[in-house]
Amino acid sequence: MVLLTVIFFEGWCGINVKEQVDKFLQSKNASIIACGTCMNIRNQKDSKECPAGGIEDLYHLITESDKVVTF
């Protein structure tokens, strides 16, 4: 089973985040974690579909992944 997790950080500004979230969530094996700091700065609340995360979440995702793609 392939799991896809996406973390949105501030560098993603300028893209249609709602559109990207909808695309990723079409796969039942996908999950999305938003940068908690970025959400706080923008007075945004986390949700079931897009919970807030932090550096600890990023660390666990990287160390537990077979492959990591950054861009």
pLDDT tens, position by position, 13-67: 566 667 777 777 787 777 778 888 888 888 888 888 778 888 898 888 888 888 7
* Cβ density class 2-11: b for 16+ within 10 Å, e for less: eeebbbbeee
**Which pTM does this prediction carry?**
0.54
Q: How far apart are CA 62 and CA 41, in angstroms?
A: 25
The per-residue pLDDT for 1 is 45
The per-residue pLDDT for 4 is 58
DSSP 12-57: GTTS-HHHHHHHHHTSTTEEEEEEHHHHHHTTPPP-SSS-EE-HHH
The per-residue pLDDT for 14 is 60
The per-residue pLDDT for 56 is 93
Query: Which of 70, 6, 7 has its CA nearest to residue 38?
Result: 7
